[in-house]
Amino acid sequence: MEDGYQNRTAFIKGAKDIAKEVKRQASKKVRRNVDRINDEYSRRSYSRFEEDEDEDFPAQGGQDTGYYRGDSQAANDDEGGHSDSTEGHDEDDEIYEGEYQGIPRADSAKGSLAGGPGSVKAGGQQFADVGVSEAERRKDQEELAQQYETILQECGHGKFQWTLYFVLGLALMADGVEIFVVGFVLPSAEKDMCLSEPNKSMLGLIVYLGMMVGAFLWGALADRIGRRQSLLISLSINSVFSFFSSFVQGYSTFLLCRLLSGVGIGGSIPIVFSYYSEFLAQEKRGEHLSWLCMFWMIGGIYASAMAWAIIPHYGWSFQMGSAYQFHSWRVFVLVCAFPSVAAIAALNAMPESPRFYLENGKHDEGWMILKQVHDTNMRAKGYPERVFSVTTIKTVKQMDELVDTGTDTPVWQRYKLKIISLTQQVRSNFLACFSQEYKRTTFMLMAVWFTMSFSYYGLTVWFPDMIKYIQKQEYESRTKVFSKERMEHVTFNFTLENQVHRQGHYFNDKFLNLKMKSMVFEDSIFEECYFEDITSTNTFFRNCTFIASLFYNTDLFKYRFVNCKLLNTSFIHNKEGCMLDFSDDNNAYMIYFVSFLGTLAVLPGNIVSALLMDKIGRLRMLAGSSVISCISCFFLMFGSNESGMIALLCLFGGISIASWNALDVLTVELYPSDKRTTAFGFLNALCKLAAVLGISIFQSFVGITKAVPILFAAGALAAGSFLATKLPETRGQVLQ
């Protein structure tokens, strides 16, 4: 055995010499072949060494030394088991002992040492002669998929999966919260920051734009650097900028923080579903991925409840002078960052996806995690004596292009080369989704994702806007109109609300410590009047004349005076910023209550889809739910009052959620592991783009017509349900 060890050391040294010489003299193409071949040699050499060791140390009792082992062998392996990747590296930091990274065969090492420099050319030719083709890699992936499914069956479904379920559920909950945050704070933020209509629209759409970028970015990176690591980074970005956005004062900085917060949380959906699916066996996958979708609903309920409890309480605020104000809606923004922070803390205790490790040639890391899953579940079920019987798992041959930066390369240049290499790998992975094999599936899914998102997000934002419009019409119907009134030496110290005064004359009147809400003065004259401590909302003076009047400590700014004449009139110590007032704002409670009901209404759809997903199949669930949602759209024509619109909103949300659950499961299962999050991220980014278009188009018809938005939504859902039937069914298949 000592001779064998010395031979192995000599082999490793010979491999180093060959690799160094080839990398210095060979072209880029040859270097690529060298890197590919290292993996091939490693497997052959490792297999040879295992055979040698088996001859010296035969398996006890003649047991089979294949994929599975008996209890006695398992005990021996557990006693001395460790991950070869932790054995360290040599001083040149190139070849790791025991990592299957290029241990050469005995004849190749001896030949290279004996031949000296002249053998380098022959060695390079030998490396180039043995290539790892795409066909071999695909074969490895197919074998791994079958074996991985068998291993998951042995590990069972238990405590580990349920723990991961709640951890990833927090990340999905954070995504649901992010969708609602801006919509809930917008009525308050527009007053606090004095936002114009274009600024309000941009603030409402900015989170979707950020999530669109984040979905593609983090989805692509998760296939290269790992699901867990990508999710941790994305959630950290979301948490940091959500925290900052609650304190910044300016509109531009608040907009930037919400954009970056959206970029962070955008990676949640594509990574979470891919990550969790790789711990689920085939018969459990559809059901439990659908149960996971419930956390998005919980996120909406959490956001609605917190908004209801916090935002209307104007007393939950403080200010430092007039420059810094922290109102209750900022407290709400801060509270909404809690699910993301909790997900980060919990995710640190969970391992990376073993499927990701095996797809990237990291056998020992993947094996250890699967053993952890098995042991955790068996202990929880009361079978701690059961031993994980898998000894060897198929890994996929690697074709990645390694970057040799050398020891003398500056650090910044090494990072630059690594980033360039990572970018090229991400680009290659993305383009592979449009290869001949996946092109039809990708285009079909793009159409289904786009049509569903366009109709769903467009309608769910159009609903509240229609409710506001109905409320506004009802409010305006109660407006009191006064004409040609003359008031002299009168003191107004009570609230003035929802009134229109035309052609009035006010002489030596005092307006003291009062609130004006939805007040309009037209063609009126104010002579020697005094205004003090005025707080106003939606109040305007049109074509009025002010003579020898004084405004002290009011928020009646210049823009509230439309075509007015100000003669010998002064403004002293005006209030700064836009004042918030929730004393009678029942509309705020109504908005939160409607969102709460709409989110809660998806609970039955979630339950039904989870129970039936693995029984009737993904395609029937997707197409059937889309057809019923399409039909339900036409009932919206009959929604003429507040209660009717709310009921129809709940109906539409409860039906359409089953379509989303089926689409998520289908997307996960239609792509192989090395392209799964890239494809999911791209499709989710397209979903957010469709949401922006749907919201923009549907909102433009508020107060004009209900027919056009309904026809748009119904047509999109009908097209989506038809295209969904052309997709392949994935029920009962192993995870690619």
Instruction: State how far the Cα of 155 lies from the Cα of 372, in Å rounded to an integer.
Output: 9
User: In the beta sheet, which residues pair with residue 277?
Assistant: none
Q: What is the 3-state secondary structure (H, E, C) of 24-76?
A: HHCCHHHHHHHHHHHHHHHHHHHHHHHHHHHHHCCCHHHCCCCCECCHHHHHH
pLDDT band at 471 (very low <50, low <70, confident <90, very high): confident
Instruction: Say which residue the tokens 């909302």 belong to.
Output: 537
| Average pLDDT in the chain | 76
- Going by pLDDT thresholds of 50, 70 and 90, the confidence category of residue 513 is confident
255-293: per-residue pLDDT in tens?
899 899 999 998 899 999 999 999 988 888 888 998 998
Residue 160: predicted pLDDT:
92
Residue 32's CB is within 10 A of a number of other CB atoms, namely 17
Where are any strands of DSSP class E within 180-329? 318-320, 324-326
**Do 56 and 67 contact (CB within 8 A), yes or no?**
no
pLDDT over threshold 60, residue 24 = no
Q: What is the per-residue pLDDT across 272-282, written as a single tens digit (0 to 9) for each?
A: 999 999 998 88
Query: Is this structure's pTM higher than 0.85?
Result: no
Query: For position 198, what pLDDT does the model report?
Result: 75
**Overall average pLDDT of the 9-29 stretch:** 55
Residue whose C-alpha is closest to residue 394's, from 368, 421, 362: 362
For 213-241, b/e burial (b = at least 16 CB within 10 A) is bbbbbbbbbbbbbbbbbbbbbbbebbbbb
What are the tokens at 431?
């383009």
Summarised one tens digit per residue, pLDDT across range 577-599 is 555 444 444 556 667 777 788 78
Compute the distance between CA of residue 519 and CA of residue 609 in angstroms, rounded to an integer. 51
Using DSSP's 3-state secondary structure scheme, residue 452 falls into helix
Which pLDDT score is estimated for 142? 79
In this predicted structure, the answer to whether residue 120 has a pLDDT above a threshold of 60 is no
Lowest mean pLDDT among 23-32, 73-82, 689-698: 73-82
- Cα separation, 404 vs 442, whole angstroms: 35
| CB-based contacts of 586, cutoff 8 Å, min separation 6 | none
Phi, psi of 47, rounded to the nearest 5 degrees: -65, -40
Residue the block writes with tokens 């107060």: 703
Q: What gap in Å lies between CA 126 and CA 37, rounded to an integer?
A: 9
